[in-house]
Amino acid sequence: VTSKIIETRIYDGQKPGTSGLRKAVRIFMQEHYTENFIQAILQALGEQLLGSTLVVGGDGRYYGKEVVRKIIRIAAANGVKKLIVGQNGILSTPAVSTIIRKYKTLGGIVLTASHNPGGPDADFGIKFNCENGGPAPDNVTNKIYEITKVLKNYKIIPDIAIDIDKIHNTTIQVDGNPFTVEIIDSVDDYVEHMKNIFDFSSIKILLQGSNDRPAFKVLINAMNGVTGPYVKRIFSHELGVTDSSIVNATPLEDFGGLHPDPNLTYAKDLVNAIKNGPYDFGAAFDGDGDRNMILGKNAFFVTPSDSLAVLAANLNSIPYFKKTGIKGYARSMPTGAAVDRVAAKTGVKLYEVPTGWKYFGNLMDAGHLSLCGEESFGTGSDHIREKDGIWACLAWLSVVANLGKSVEDILLNHWQTYGRNFFTRYDYENCDSEAANKMMHHIESEIQKPEFMGSKLTSGSKTYVVKLGDNYSYVDPIDGSQASKQGLRILFQDGSRIIYRLSGTGSSGATIRVYVDSYEDDPASLNKDAQEVLKPLVTIALEISKLHEFTGRDAPTYFL
Ligand code: VG1
Ligand code: CO
């Protein structure tokens, strides 16, 4: 077959955000819209593209299969030699990262809008991951965006029809060169990787019970997202968890109407089931499988910032890290600083990076980083270059198996040792974009006034002294690349922090995020409710920002 050149029109706004291009499905369905973006990704790869291999898969959401077919046709026409495609177009984000690395491909295209709802009236997304398996860094996504602004045509072979629902290989001749599509099992490579990282037999003993310990009862909720088949294979087939303890484990194109985001608001059914049931542990994952929420008995909630710190303090429970050693820890800037305490006490280097997993990749590639996380329910390690929900769950079960304690006791002991960073995030979704921008400008000018530094901010009986206010910027220690305007920060002398950011993953309007982090080491405070402890700082954050005046909002859409 031979390739065709199709004249196209330019679409504005194909700028990848924190994690790829995310828009409403109907926007992606416009004539040439998706084709343009795929062509731009391929073109951004330059000469390496010719003869390359790429991985393709996604979270199973509506429109995904259609886009897999488009990618096959466009990649063939652009000189790609081989595509490795997940069966039915299904690959979790961590699985894509695993497969890129295992087969040393030039990269992969992930079809996901992560935790955003799916279906004809909801969202779709396309993300490019590089040969290290991680989300493309800013210089690559900028290049893709620049190409979308001048693209005149794209190359396609319209009549390739390959069945992506069954595992097989097809090779066809394109302009005289072989082009292969390999449809692979979506879970095999990932499961093999997990079995090399963790001690499955000790986790199995924990879950099944033994002479000296009753079975540790878990409830796993895949939220109708992509993790279903992975959860079934790992927890049911490998670890023997009963089917009734695995729920929402069939990927659905609209996630069954769920908002597949594992947090206390959107995974309410998991919270209630754990509160009312016999379970010792609960876990949920997002649409594309890179986020996780961990709950203990009675739905004791482990904040993602604490989860990172606890895992950091207990990496010796996981065989993988016994082999690799602990090279360093990292968190995104707005993430609660609990892991900093572990790093300080254990003498391990800690890195702070901007929001988004792409910033961890260089540190990992250079061998400086073993474990990292974000407050947005993302936890992961250098076993791949994405955050990894199922990995985090297995990591927690390894720690529980090793320590022989409940989740709650593990946290209490951790706080007794390191003190506690209380953390909360308020999200205001779908705000007017102009109002949100004005508010950010207002905050920035307030916190950059010279007299702001050293000023005292008071709410109730609490007074905080400002150490610094700035717009966070980051210089990558490996390649020197810079990322500026990554969030407005107010740092206080006692280590407390207030951070304001606009989301880079929404598909419409603006989402304002306000993050508050405060450290306490008074033993009497350790058990307190985070909202209660943080109330004064939250009040201060809302006052400085004039959030209500700018946006008209009295309350957040939700808080974490
Ligand atoms: C959000 C989170 C960020 C995360 C990103 C992608 O970005 O805050 O921590 O890395 O989503 O996660 P933003 O720009 O909306 O704050 V995922 O699971 O959506 O790929
Ligand atoms: Co995700």
Tell me: pLDDT of 194 over 90. Answer: yes
Tell me: pLDDT of 391 over 90. Answer: yes
Residue 470: how many other CB atoms lie within 10 Å: 14
The closest residue, in CA terms, to atom 11 on ligand 1 is: 505
517 Cβ closer than 6 Å to some ligand 1 atom: no
Which atom of ligand 1 is closest in space to residue 376's alpha carbon?
9
Determine what percent of the chain falls in helix, strand and coil, rounding each to the nearest 5. 40, 25, 35
The closest residue, in CA terms, to atom 17 on ligand 1 is: 114
34 Cβ closer than 6 Å to some ligand 1 atom: no
**Which of 3.40.250.10, 3.40.120.10, 3.20.20.140, 2.30.110.10 is the CATH number of 4-186?**
3.40.120.10
CATH number of the domain located at residue range(s) 189-418 in this protein: 3.40.120.10
Active site (catalytic) residues: 114
Q: How many residues does the chain have?
A: 560
Residue 524 pLDDT? 84
Q: Mean pLDDT score of the chain, rounded to an integer? A: 95
The full set of domain ranges for the chain reads 4-186, 189-418, 420-559
The mean pLDDT value for 365-375 works out to 98
Residue 531: how many other CB atoms lie within 10 Å: 11
Q: Which amino acid is at 225?
A: G
pLDDT band at 8 (very low <50, low <70, confident <90, very high): very high
Reported as a single tens digit per residue, the pLDDT across 62-90 is 999 999 999 999 999 999 999 999 999 99
DSSP letters spanning 106-130 = SEEEEE--TTS--STTSEEEEEEE-
Tell me: pLDDT of 506 over 80. Answer: no
pLDDT band at 127 (very low <50, low <70, confident <90, very high): very high
Report residue 462 as tokens: 């609490």
Which atom of ligand 1 is closest in space to residue 504's alpha carbon?
14
- Lowest mean pLDDT of 1-5, 247-251, 431-435, 547-551, name the range: 1-5
The maximal CA–CA distance of the chain, rounded, in angstroms, is 77
Instruction: Pick from 505, 507, 511, 559 the residue to mutate for probing ligand 1's pocket: most ligand atoms within 8 Å of its CB.
Output: 505
Name residues whose C-beta falls within 8 Å of residue 473's C-beta, 6 or more positions apart in sequence. 482, 483, 484, 485, 486
pLDDT band at 297 (very low <50, low <70, confident <90, very high): very high
Which atom of ligand 1 is closest in space to residue 506's alpha carbon?
15
Compute the distance from residue 387 Cα to the ligand 2 centre, in Å: 8
ipTM: 0.97
| 327 close to 369: Cβ distance less than 8 angstroms | yes
Compute the distance from residue 537 Cα to the ligand 2 centre, in Å: 29
Name residues whose C-beta falls within 8 Å of residue 454's C-beta, 6 or more positions apart in sequence. 465, 466
Compute the distance from residue 347 Cα to the ligand 1 centre, in Å: 29
376 Cβ closer than 6 Å to some ligand 1 atom: yes
pLDDT band at 195 (very low <50, low <70, confident <90, very high): very high
Which atom of ligand 1 is closest in space to residue 127's alpha carbon?
20
Reported as a single tens digit per residue, the pLDDT across 340-358 is 999 999 999 999 999 999 8
| 274 close to 285: Cβ distance less than 8 angstroms | no
Angle 282-284-286 from CA coordinates, rounded to 5°: 170
Reported as a single tens digit per residue, the pLDDT across 217-269 is 999 999 999 999 999 999 999 999 999 999 999 999 999 998 999 999 999 99
| 133 close to 97: Cβ distance less than 8 angstroms | yes
Share of residues in the chain with pLDDT > 90 (%): 92
Share of residues in the chain with pLDDT > 70 (%): 100
Angle 329-331-337 from CA coordinates, rounded to 5°: 95
DSSP letters spanning 290-344 = -BEEEEEGGGEEE-HHHHHHHHHHTGGGSHHHHHH----EEEETTS-THHHHHHH
What SS3 class is residue 160? coil
Q: Which residues of 375-414 are buried (b: 16+ CB within 10 A; e: fewer)?
A: bbbbbbbbbbbbbbbbbbbbbbbbbbbeeeebbbebbbeb
**CATH architecture assigned to 420-559:** 2-Layer Sandwich (3.30)
Residue 175 pLDDT? 86
373 Cβ closer than 6 Å to some ligand 1 atom: no
The closest residue, in CA terms, to atom 4 on ligand 1 is: 356
286 Cβ closer than 6 Å to some ligand 1 atom: yes
Domain 4-186 matches domain 420-559 at the CATH topology level? no
393: phi > 0 → left, psi -120 to 50 → alpha, else beta; which? alpha
What string of H, E and C letters represents the secondary structure of 494-519? CCCEEEEEECCCCCCCEEEEEEEEEE
pLDDT band at 558 (very low <50, low <70, confident <90, very high): confident
